[in-house]
Amino acid sequence: MTKGEQARFSCRQHASWKSFNLLTRRLSFAAFLFAGAPQLALAHAIVVRTSPAQGGVGAEDIGKVEVWYDAGIRDAFAALAVVSAAGERVDRRDAAIDSADPSHVSVSVNRLTPGKYTVRYRALSADGHLVSGAWEFEVRP
């Protein structure tokens, strides 16, 4: 077999394997859906509460920023960052999932100066989907 024939065969073999792999994943997912699996297993994590509140006002000495999801999240990709209007991170980079409540994540902050702040969050939900977003709050003098 020439090198050209080998390359074409390898390409066809690879394409066939990709199709088979995709079909297998689709069939596995369909079997999972029709096996009576609970619907909650497919839900992405949703933010249900924040502190300070979204669009709310926080105190200068707030101490920490927190987020609660509707279900527990996985530790692998949990992140929470607080950024000033100037684009500087003002959190202590110690975001952690609460050991007593896996749906709660918090990060420490030093005393904040008056201004607007953006909180960016990221979490891996129980169904394996990465969710992320942001909310803003303000500190007034």
**pLDDT tens for residues 11-55?**
444 444 454 444 444 444 444 444 444 444 456 789 999 999 999
Q: Are residues 135 and 81 in the same domain?
A: yes
Single-letter amino acid, residue 34: F
Q: Are residues 97 and 126 in the same domain?
A: yes
**pLDDT tens for residues 93-126?**
999 999 999 999 999 999 999 999 999 999 998 7
CATH of the domain at 74: 2.60.40.1220
Q: State the pTM of this model.
A: 0.68
Number of compact structural domains in the chain: 2
For residue 10, give its domain range: 3-37
Q: Are residues 31 and 61 in the same domain?
A: no
Q: Are residues 133 and 117 in the same domain?
A: yes
Q: Are residues 33 and 45 in the same domain?
A: no
Closest residue by Cα to residue 119 from 44, 45, 47, 70: 47
